[in-house]
């Protein structure tokens, strides 16, 4: 099979659609590319919100990656089930999530769990629960470096909060978390300048904390767009900055189009079929809102590797209508291979991904952390 039709499934007739399919050989290649992009694998803390599966996690573990980041208690538990030894819940636990987090720590003592906090009141609540459970939870102060959704500014208020956290029982501050997902300029030089400007106060805060006698704080920074920038950071007197890309493992059309400097391969697709011909120029596919992330504008949600000319013009829960043009030759039952614009929320729509090896459906990877609750 040539590189141009790497995605073709020879026994696709046995695969119901719509379906999420993953290509393990390409996943392995992406993991290798990730580890080669940084001088120390211990600086990697990949986010698993993209794959949500034990199998993908184990491929990273086999490559020597031991630290991970996640967004939900279920993702954290999935990581522990897979054998991860260091898991950061990149989310501030509030309400019932605090008790679940404590129970998670108790259930998986071989995994070091940590989480984010951005205010003293929440930290006090978590401290009380941890103290009763007789555990100590490492916490990172969540910094707002421009996303404007969670975290506090990396200034004197953050420094004060960090100092206050050291006085609490049940938790202990160990570092700073700075997610700069708003920085995604296609021009790498401009993206680098924006990233460095957003990171500068984080570095200043870390250096100030160290100068005040605190243990030099760990810094977890960035996502996929700023990954190649943070990999180059070295700050004298501070631990190496940890990097947290996530989409790399499956990649998608969105980042493939805007992050040209990153060589990751598309490794997960959606398989769909033509189910109706509404008129002479249109096709209807079984790829509705429930089967592809619908956050982007209609025309950008999915592109078809074997039918790049098709343009989406309408979508509902179970259907996607595309314009094929006059004189097209598509027939009912034709199979199309779609690359999502955003793979992460697309994966979350499927309870399993079918594995494709040597052109054949060979098995499946359960999207186990798609559920909000696994056991805890």
Q: What is the pLDDT of residues 70-108, one digit of tens each?
A: 999 999 999 999 999 999 999 999 999 999 999 999 999
| Residue that terminates a domain, selected from 254, 285, 317 | 254
- Find the mean pLDDT for residues 128-133: 97
239 and 280 fall within a common domain: no
| Residue 96, both tokens | 């019932």
User: What digits encode the pLDDT tens for the residues 171-187?
Assistant: 999 999 999 999 999 99
Buried b (16+ CB within 10 A) or exposed e, 289-322: eebbbbeeeeeebbbbbebeebebeebeeebbbb
pLDDT > 90: percent of the chain:
98
280 within a domain of the structure (yes/no): yes
Domain that holds residue 270: 3-19+263-370
Strand partners, 44: 243
176 and 44 fall within a common domain: yes
CA pair distance 54, 56, nearest whole angstrom: 6
DSSP output for 285-333: ES--TTTS--SS-GGGSEEETT-TT-EEEEE-SS-EEEE--TT----TT
At residue 28, the pLDDT reads 98
Which residue has 């809102």 as its token pair? 289
Distances 27 to 36, 317, 364 between C-alpha atoms, Å: 14, 30, 14
At residue 2, the pLDDT reads 57
User: What digits encode the pLDDT tens for the residues 184-219?
Assistant: 999 999 999 999 999 999 999 999 999 999 999 999
Residue 322 has phi, psi (to 5 degrees) of -125, 150
At residue 4, the pLDDT reads 85
At residue 3, the pLDDT reads 81
Instruction: Pick the more confident residue, 3 or 82.
Output: 82
Q: Which helix (H) or strand (E) holds 140?
A: strand 137-143
How would residue 363 be classed by pLDDT, with cut points 50, 70 and 90?
A: very high
376 within a domain of the structure (yes/no): no
| pLDDT of 1 higher than 70 | no
101 and 195 fall within a common domain: yes
How would residue 301 be classed by pLDDT, with cut points 50, 70 and 90?
A: very high
State the DSSP code for 175. E
Which residue has 């493939």 as its token pair? 256
User: What digits encode the pLDDT tens for the residues 47-65?
Assistant: 999 999 999 999 999 999 9
| pLDDT of 221 higher than 70 | yes
348 within a domain of the structure (yes/no): yes
- Find the mean pLDDT for residues 339-345: 97
CA neighbor of 71 nearest in space, from 86, 85, 91, 53:
91
| The total number of structural domains that make up the chain | 2
14 and 50 fall within a common domain: no
CA pair distance 240, 220, nearest whole angstrom: 9
347 within a domain of the structure (yes/no): yes
């Amino acid at each position: 099979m040539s590189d141009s039709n790497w995605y073709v499934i020879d026994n696709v007739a046995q695969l119901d659609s719509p379906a999420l399919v993953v290509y393990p050989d390409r996943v392995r290649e992406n993991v290798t590319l990730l580890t080669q992009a940084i001088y120390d694998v211990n600086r990697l803390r990949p986010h698993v919100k993209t794959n949500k599966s034990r199998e993908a996690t184990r491929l990273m573990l086999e490559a020597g990656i031991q630290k991970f980041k996640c967004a939900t208690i279920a993702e954290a538990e999935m990581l522990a089930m897979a054998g991860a030894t260091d898991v950061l819940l990149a989310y501030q636990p509030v309400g019932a999530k605090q008790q679940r987090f404590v129970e998670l720590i108790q259930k998986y003592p071989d995994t070091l769990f940590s989480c984010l906090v951005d205010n003293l009141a929440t930290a006090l609540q978590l401290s009380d629960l941890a103290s009763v459970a007789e555990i100590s939870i490492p916490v990172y102060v969540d910094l707002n470096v421009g996303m404007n959704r969670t975290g506090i500014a990396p200034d004197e208020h953050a420094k004060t909060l960090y100092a206050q956290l050291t006085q609490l029982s049940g938790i202990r501050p160990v570092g700073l978390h700075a997610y700069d997902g708003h920085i995604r300029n296609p021009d790498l030089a401009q993206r680098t300048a924006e990233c460095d400007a957003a990171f500068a106060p984080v570095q200043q805060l870390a250096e100030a904390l160290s100068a005040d006698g605190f243990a030099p704080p760990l810094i977890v920074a960035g996502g996929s767009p700023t990954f190649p920038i943070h990999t180059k950071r070295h700050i004298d007197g501070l631990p190496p900055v940890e990097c947290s890309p996530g989409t790399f493992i499956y990649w998608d059309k969105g980042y493939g189009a805007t992050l040209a400097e990153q060589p990751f391969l598309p490794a997960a697709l959606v398989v769909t079929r033509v189910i109706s011909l509404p008129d002479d120029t249109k096709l209807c596919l079984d790829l509705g809102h429930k089967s592809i992330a619908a956050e982007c504008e209609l025309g950008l949600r999915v592109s078809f590797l074997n039918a790049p000319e098709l343009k989406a013009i309408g979508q509902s829960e179970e259907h996607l209508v595309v314009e094929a043009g006059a004189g097209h030759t598509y027939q009912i039952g034709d199979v199309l291979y779609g690359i999502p614009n955003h793979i992460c929320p697309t994966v979350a729509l499927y309870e399993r991904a079918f594995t494709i090896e040597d052109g054949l459906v060979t098995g499946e990877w359960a999207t186990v952390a798609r559920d909000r609750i696994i056991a805890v």
